[in-house]
Chain A
Amino acid sequence: MTTATAIMEAVRLVKRYPTGHGILHAVDDVSLAIQPGESVGLVGESGCGKSTLVRLLGRLIEPSDGAIVFEGQDIAPVPLRRFVHDKARGRIQVVFQDPTESLNPSLSVFDAVADPIRRLGKAADRKTLASQVRDAIELVGLPPEMEARLPHQLSGGQRARVGIARAIALRPALLILDEPTSALDVSVQAVILRLLADLRSQLGMSYLFVSHDLNVVRLLCSRIIVMYLGRVVEEGPTEALFRQPRHPYTRALLASIPDPARRGQTPWRLEGSASSPIDPSPNVCRFYGRCPRQEARCAETMPELRPMDAAGLHRAACHFAEEIAP
Chain B
Amino acid sequence: MSSSTLVSRTRYAVAENKLTLLAAILFALLIFCAIFGQMLAPYGPLMTNESARMQPPSWAHLFGTDALGRDIFSRVLIATRLDLGMAISAVVISFVVGTGLGAIAGYWGGWVDAIFGRVMDTIMAFPLFVLAMGIVAALGNNVTNIIIATAVINLPFYGRFARAEVNVRRDLAYVEAARMGGNGAIRILYGHIVRNILPTMLVQASLNMGWAILNAAGLSFIGLGVRPPTPEWGIMVSEGASFIISGEWWTFVFPGGALVIAVFCFNLLGDGLRDIVDPRRRT
* Touch test A–B (CB under 8 Å): yes
Q: Which residues of A come within 8 Å of B, CB atoms? A: 58, 60, 81, 84-85, 89-90, 93-94, 96-98, 101-107, 115-116, 119-120, 148-150, 153, 163, 166-167
Q: Are B176 and A120 in contact (CB under 8 A)?
A: no
B172 within 8 A of A: yes
Most buried by B among A60, A119, A120, A150: A119
Assembled-state Cα–Cα distance A97/B195 (Å): 23
Q: How far is the CB of A223 from chain B (nearest CB, A)?
A: 24
> Which chain B residues border A96 with CB–CB below 8 Å?
173, 176-177
Instruction: Select A119's contact among B2, B173, B181, B196, beta carbons within 8 Å.
Output: B181
Q: Are B180 and A102 in contact (CB under 8 A)?
A: no
B179 within 8 A of A: yes
B178 within 8 A of A: yes
Chain A-chain B contacts (Cβ-Cβ < 8 Å), number: 65
Q: Assess A102 versus B177: contact at CB under 8 Å? Given A150-B1, A150-B2, A153-B2.
A: yes
Q: How far is the CB of A137 from chain B (nearest CB, A)?
A: 16
Assembled-state Cα–Cα distance A94/B175 (Å): 12
Nearest-CB residue, chain A, relative to B198: A106
> Which chain A residues border B195 with CB–CB below 8 Å?
106
B183 within 8 A of A: yes
Q: How far is the CB of B59 from chain A (nearest CB, A)?
A: 54
Q: Are B180 and A89 in contact (CB under 8 A)?
A: yes
Most buried by B among A81, A115, A148: A115
Instruction: Select A116's contact among B172, B173, B174, B181, beta carbons within 8 Å.
Output: B181
Q: Assess A106 versus B196: contact at CB under 8 Å? Given A96-B173, A97-B173, A101-B173.
A: yes
Q: How far is the CB of A235 from chain B (nearest CB, A)?
A: 26
Q: Are B196 and A89 in contact (CB under 8 A)?
A: no
A-B contact pairs, 28 of them (CB 8 A): A58-B180, A60-B176, A60-B180, A84-B179, A84-B183, A85-B182, A85-B184, A93-B180, A94-B177, A96-B177, A101-B173, A102-B173, A102-B177, A104-B178, A105-B174, A106-B1, A107-B192, A115-B178, A115-B181, A116-B180, A116-B181, A116-B182, A119-B181, A119-B183, A120-B181, A166-B177, A166-B181, A167-B180
Known: A102-B173, A107-B192. 16 other contacts (CB 8 A): A81-B184, A81-B185, A84-B179, A85-B182, A89-B180, A93-B180, A94-B180, A104-B192, A105-B174, A105-B196, A106-B195, A115-B178, A115-B183, A119-B183, A150-B2, A166-B177
- Near A by CB (< 8 A), chain B positions 117-169 give none
Q: Are A101 and B174 in contact (CB under 8 A)?
A: yes
Q: How far is the CB of A85 from chain B (nearest CB, A)?
A: 6
- Near A by CB (< 8 A), chain B positions 171-225 give 172-174, 176-185, 187, 192, 195-196
Nearest-CB residue, chain A, relative to B184: A84
Q: How far is the CB of B222 from chain A (nearest CB, A)?
A: 43
Q: Are B176 and A89 in contact (CB under 8 A)?
A: no
Q: Are B172 and A119 in contact (CB under 8 A)?
A: no
Nearest-CB residue, chain A, relative to B183: A119
> Which chain B residues border A107 with CB–CB below 8 Å?
192
Q: How far is the CB of B109 from chain A (nearest CB, A)?
A: 15
Q: How far is the CB of B281 from chain A (nearest CB, A)?
A: 15
Assembled-state Cα–Cα distance A79/B84 (Å): 50
Nearest-CB residue, chain B, relative to A108: B2
> Which chain A residues border B179 with CB–CB below 8 Å?
60, 84
Assembled-state Cα–Cα distance A172/B177 (Å): 14
Most buried by B among A96, A101, A106: A106
Q: Are A102 and B183 in contact (CB under 8 A)?
A: no
Q: How far is the CB of B165 from chain A (nearest CB, A)?
A: 13
Q: How far is the CB of B197 from chain A (nearest CB, A)?
A: 10
Nearest-CB residue, chain A, relative to B173: A102
Most buried by A among B2, B178, B181, B196: B181
Assembled-state Cα–Cα distance A150/B182 (Å): 22
Assembled-state Cα–Cα distance A119/B1 (Å): 24
Assembled-state Cα–Cα distance A163/B178 (Å): 11
Q: How far is the CB of B232 from chain A (nearest CB, A)?
A: 40
> Which chain A residues border B172 with CB–CB below 8 Å?
101
Interface 1/0s, chain B 41-56, versus A by CB < 8 A?
A: 0000000000000000
> Which chain A residues border B184 with CB–CB below 8 Å?
81, 84-85
Q: Are B182 and A119 in contact (CB under 8 A)?
A: yes
Instruction: Select A104's contact among B180, B187, B196, beta carbons within 8 Å.
Output: B196
Q: How far is the CB of A50 from chain B (nearest CB, A)?
A: 16
Nearest-CB residue, chain B, relative to A98: B173
Nearest-CB residue, chain A, relative to B196: A106
> Which chain A residues border B183 with CB–CB below 8 Å?
84, 115, 119
Q: How far is the CB of A172 from chain B (nearest CB, A)?
A: 9
Assembled-state Cα–Cα distance A30/B170 (Å): 28
> Which chain A residues border B178 with CB–CB below 8 Å?
104, 115
Q: Assess A84 versus B182: contact at CB under 8 Å? Given A104-B192, A153-B2.
A: yes
Most buried by A among B172, B178, B182, B196: B182
> Which chain A residues border B2 with CB–CB below 8 Å?
148-150, 153
Instruction: Select A120's contact among B173, B182, B192, beta carbons within 8 Å.
Output: B182
Query: Which 5 A/B pairs are nearest by Cβ-Cβ distance?
Result: A119-B182, A116-B181, A102-B173, A120-B182, A104-B174
- Near A by CB (< 8 A), chain B positions 1-15 give 1-2
Assembled-state Cα–Cα distance A104/B173 (Å): 9
Nearest-CB residue, chain A, relative to B199: A106
> Which chain B residues border A85 with CB–CB below 8 Å?
182, 184
Q: How far is the CB of A161 from chain B (nearest CB, A)?
A: 14
Assembled-state Cα–Cα distance A149/B2 (Å): 8
Assembled-state Cα–Cα distance A10/B182 (Å): 22
